[in-house]
Amino acid sequence: TLNVEQVQALMKSIDSEKVGKNYHELAKGRNVIVIQAESIQNFVINATVNGEPITPVLNELIGNESIYFDRYYEQVGWGNTSDAEFISHNGFYPSKRIFSYKAYEKNEFVTLPTSLKEKGYSSIVFHGNYANFWNRDVVYPAQGLDAYISLEDFKVDEEIGIGLSDGSMFRQSVDFLKELPKPFYSFYITLTSHHPFDLPEEYKVIEMGPKYQDTVLEKYIQTVNYLDAQIGEFIELLKLEGLYDDSMIVIYGDHKGLDMRDEEANELISSFMGREYKEDEMHKVPFIVHIPGGGVQKEVNTVGGQIDFFPTMANLLGVELNLKSTFGKDLLNTENGFVAMQSHVAQGSFISNEMVFIMSNDGVFENSRAWDIHTGEPVDVYSAREGFERAIAEINLSEYILKNDLVPLVHEKGLEKILELEDK
Ligand code: GP9
């Protein structure tokens, strides 16, 4: 059952959020190429090792006709990579019980891909592991993802880590893209930078120096650098094949690569960044929207999360979406950032434009931690009470809707309708 007061307060918060129409339809009718980048955290962006950038390609992309969201957070739970897909495409939180692609495999959905399909888009997914990993093959049709090219369909000419190398996946995908009816929505799930970050020597380009040599941070950085280079080559291929100018290229990190609770990783990253490695940094992932010829170059500092992906994309692509039909916000048209956190923290933890609040694992509110997001200085946990209530309300209402298979109804009538149902 729902806590009606909590939900009413949530509706009020949503109402108070400023909504405009900035950048509306900026990418209307374009092909969409989304790269969900395995384990890519934001701290690598514009960072250098021995004067060498870790992500030269992404850095350049960010500075050139792109919108870069520099305070964007992953919100995955149990379903890890598959949750990142689920949250981003649906604007709902993942199940708390089991991974969402299993928990809701029989549900009906309204997603970014189903909405684009109604506008005449075709769709395709590329992933270098088996089709049934995370039950993807079963749920993709209901998610609006029609073609699915997985390990079984590729020529396995180069294996790294747990599947086909990212380089090979990108290269082979272009032939499929060329055959697709335009406009298309294509979704890439990369793999090579998956834990334990094994990379053949020939691809290790960055000279780490003695301090980080042979550490988990070195392995991580080498695979991130590899992915960055492969994205660069992929973009060159798109240009060569005439698939670049009419496309929008979107890149975001799926979830953390290095766990702050691992002592070695924590010490290494803290020393690398020159500040303490904490929850907000661990969950922060890059989110880049590159629109060639779109004439927009921008950095968005509003706090946002994967839950905001669908509404933000919908605005850019001209998909009509009721403000109260998902839990996300259009990050190009709000200043009130709010991210309810899911993994590695107790429920009720959140990040806002002002603070980070981490609910205590013992369930005692007073034992929680809160700090100013800009200065890192501790703040009074009581000032986080409203955000704490909101985070819980969002996650519970989301779960209620999904459990009862009510997503289409919510899209038709809005989230408030759920309260009316409860009253009856
Ligand atoms: C497997 C790949 C990795 O198909 O998506 O998933 P993860 O282990 O990162 O959740």
Nearest CA to ligand 1 atom 7: 81
pLDDT in the model for residue 267: 96
Give every strand in the sheet of 355-358, ordered side by side: 338-340, 350-352, 355-358, 369-372
Ligand 1: which atom is nearest the Cα of residue 136?
4
pLDDT in the model for residue 160: 98
Give the C-alpha separation, 68 to 57, whole Å. Answer: 14
Both tokens assigned to 264: 């070695």
pLDDT in the model for residue 423: 61
Q: Identify the residue whose tokens are 């009074």.
A: 380
Q: Identify the residue whose tokens are 């549900």.
A: 107
Is 386 annotated as ligand-binding? no
Strand 298-300 to 66-69 pairing: parallel
Is 81 annotated as ligand-binding? yes
Both tokens assigned to 196: 């334990």
The three-state DSSP-derived secondary structure of the chain is: CCCHHHHHHHHHHHHHCCCCCCCCCCCCCCEEEEEEECCCCHHHCCCEECCEECCHHHHHHHCCCEEEECCEECCCCCCHHHHHHHHHHHCCCCCCCCCHHHHCCCCCCCCHHHHHHHCCCEEEEEECCCCCHHHHHHHHHHHCCCEEECCCCCCCCCEECCEECHHHHHHHHHHHHHHCCCCEEEEEECCCCCCCCCCCHHHCCCCCCCCCCCCHHHHHHHHHHHHHHHHHHHHHHHHHCCCCCCEEEEEEECCCCCCCCCHHHHHHHHHHHCCCCCHHHHHECCEEEECCCCCCCEEECCCEEHHHHHHHHHHHHCCCCCHHHCCCCCCCCCCCCEEECCCCCCCCCEEECCEEEECCCCCCHHHCEEEECCCCCECCHHHHHHHHHHHHHHHHHHHHHHHCCCHHHHHHHCCCHHHHHHHC
Is 228 annotated as ligand-binding? no
Nearest CA to 293 among 11, 26, 3, 52?
26
Nearest CA to ligand 1 atom 3: 81
Between the CA of 261 and the centroid of ligand 1 the distance, in Å, is 20
For the stretch 200-226, what's the b/e string if a residue is b when 16 or more beta carbons lie within 10 angstroms of its beta carbon? eeebbebebeeebeebbbbbbbbbbbb
Between the CA of 314 and the centroid of ligand 1 the distance, in Å, is 26
Known catalytic residues are 81
Digitized pLDDT (tens) for each residue of the chain, 424 residues in all: 677 787 788 888 877 776 778 999 999 999 999 999 999 999 999 999 999 999 999 999 999 999 999 999 999 999 999 999 999 999 999 998 899 999 999 999 999 999 999 999 999 999 999 999 999 999 999 999 999 999 999 999 999 999 999 999 999 999 999 999 999 999 999 999 999 999 999 999 999 889 899 999 999 999 999 999 999 999 999 999 999 999 999 999 999 999 999 999 999 999 999 999 999 999 999 999 999 999 999 999 999 999 999 999 999 999 999 878 999 999 999 988 999 998 778 999 999 999 999 999 999 999 999 999 999 999 999 999 999 999 999 999 999 999 999 999 999 998 888 877 766 5
pLDDT in the model for residue 424: 58
Does ipTM surpass 0.95 in this model? Answer: yes
Nearest CA to ligand 1 atom 6: 81
Nearest CA to ligand 1 atom 5: 81
Q: Which residues line ligand 1 (CB under 6 A)?
A: 80-81, 129, 133-134, 189, 191, 194
Ligand 1: which atom is nearest the Cα of residue 81?
10
Give the C-alpha separation, 83 to 92, whole Å. Answer: 10
Between the CA of 225 and the centroid of ligand 1 the distance, in Å, is 19
The angle, 0 to 180 degrees and rounded to 10, between the axes of the packed helices 385-403 and 4-16 is 110
Between the CA of 78 and the centroid of ligand 1 the distance, in Å, is 11
pLDDT in the model for residue 419: 77
